[in-house]
Every structure is written in structure tokens, then in C-alpha cells.
Homo-oligomer: A and B are copies of this chain.
């Protein structure tokens, strides 16, 4: 044969030979994905030159990760999280114009639907934590308030656990609620200040964190999904200013633009509006959504 393309496997041309095996993939996107995967995976292997024992360790690690996955535990998502891949995919898919609220990862605890609740009602059914009002306004990027927007909220309690992690301890749907904004785009609800918490660290991902001297913690935060007509939905958190681990979130979810203080408010009229005793703790978080620009149909 007089072709210049390498046809047999060799260390030098391994990526080219393997990529070529995907040349007949009918779906062009799958072909692109596999070709790029092979290129980067072989570059990684050539970079580190693993021993056969290290390769076997990698196989065993991935096998352990897979074996731990079930309906309530997704260890591959945790692995993606602690390697920053989840946040990178989020960043790529939610590039924002300036002014719109930043997104962050969904996380693994939005596994049940939040119950619809009235504005001002409490989502803390176990009263575990410091009482706090959570309030804000949903606006479009030009500043227009968005009445009737839906705000889905879920969080850990004052001990750092979600309801689904403690089905025998916490009431069902504790610290979850779905709220509709009022005529001025405002939402408000009663809750507790969440605590920082460790991601599940009793599996292979936890062992990886231990071996690399990384802690498993996420700083205190409330999850929010905000949706309004003709606007792109937003999945984000508000982080509690002053929480431990704000500068070292183990899943890299923190953006400075999402950190807000819990303030102590001494204002009898506002306390009465929120149906709490004065003074009270307040976490304020305004949300700015991007309008979806649709071309008019011809």
C-alpha cells in the first residue's frame, strides 16, 4: 500500500487510527463527539503515560462509581461536579448578557416537585434553623417587573440536610415551595437560614476528595428556578454571605454575583407585612431574566 495515512495501530498515530474507526458514524454530531473524545483521551494518556496498574485502578474506580449509582444516588454526577465539568457545561449553556442573573448548577436534590404555596407562607416545616424571610423581585432585563413569574425554591435546613436525605426525620416536602410573583413581580416567604453541607462522600468520589485533601463541602445556599412567560428559565442559587466554604465550594458553584447577606431588619411595618415578629432576618435576592427574542414568522 502506498497511502500516507497510517493504517495500523501505533503509539504515535493511536488517536488518528481510532478516530478513523468512527468515520462512518451516520449522525454527524455523534461523529464529532467521538472524534473529539478520542483526540483528548489519547492526549491525556500520552501526557501521563499510566502504568498498567494505574490503568487498572482507573477501571476499578469507574466501576465503583457505576456500582454506587441508583435511583437516589448519582455518583457520576458527583464526579462530574467535583471535576468542575457540571459547572463548565452550565457556563457553556447559559452565557448571559450583562445584567441578567447568573446561573449555577441544578444539583442532585431537585428530585421531587415543590408544592405550590401562597406568598408569605413558610416552607420550614421542621423549624430547624434560624428563622429568616426570603424575598425579592423578578424582573426582565430592561427592568420591567414580571408579575405571575414562578419561583421554585428548595434548600437544606439549619443542620445542612435536605428532606429527601432524612425521610424519617424531616416532614415531606420540607423546605420546598413553588411561588407566583405578585402584581409587582415580588415574592416573599418564610424559611430558615440554610447551613453549609458536605456532598455525599461515603463513596469513590468521597475517597478521591480525601486522597487529594479536598473537603466535600458546599457553602450555604438556597436553590432557585425562576420562570416567566417569554423569558429563558433560570436555574441558580443564592449563597449566604459569610458562610464557610464560599471560596472553596467543592462543586465550583459559587459566583460572587450570587452572594447575598442575611441582614437583621428592625422595621415593625415590614415585619407585619411578612407576618414575623420584629426585628427579623432577611435575605433579599432580585432575579433578572432574559427575554426570548423570537423572529416574527414570515
Measured CB to CB, the residues of A under 8 A from B are 7-11, 14-15, 17-18, 21-22, 24-27, 30-34, 36-38, 40-52, 54-55, 59, 62-63, 65-67, 69, 74, 76-77, 80, 83-93, 95, 211-214, 247-248, 250, 252-256
Contacts and interface: CB of A to CB of B under 8 A. Distances in A.
A22 to B, nearest CB: 5
A123 B43 CA distance: 41
A84 B212 contact: no
A26 B25 CA distance: 43
Contacts of A32: 48
B91 A14 contact: yes
Contact of A65 (B66, B250, B252): B66
B76 A34 contact: no
Contacts of A9: 84, 87, 91, 252-255
Contacts of A93: 51-52
B85 A42 contact: yes
4 tightest A-B CB contacts, nearest first: A66-B66, A18-B84, A40-B44, A11-B91
Contact of A88 (B45, B91, B248, B253): B45
A21 B248 contact: yes
Given A18-B252, A62-B76, A252-B9, A47 B36 contact: yes
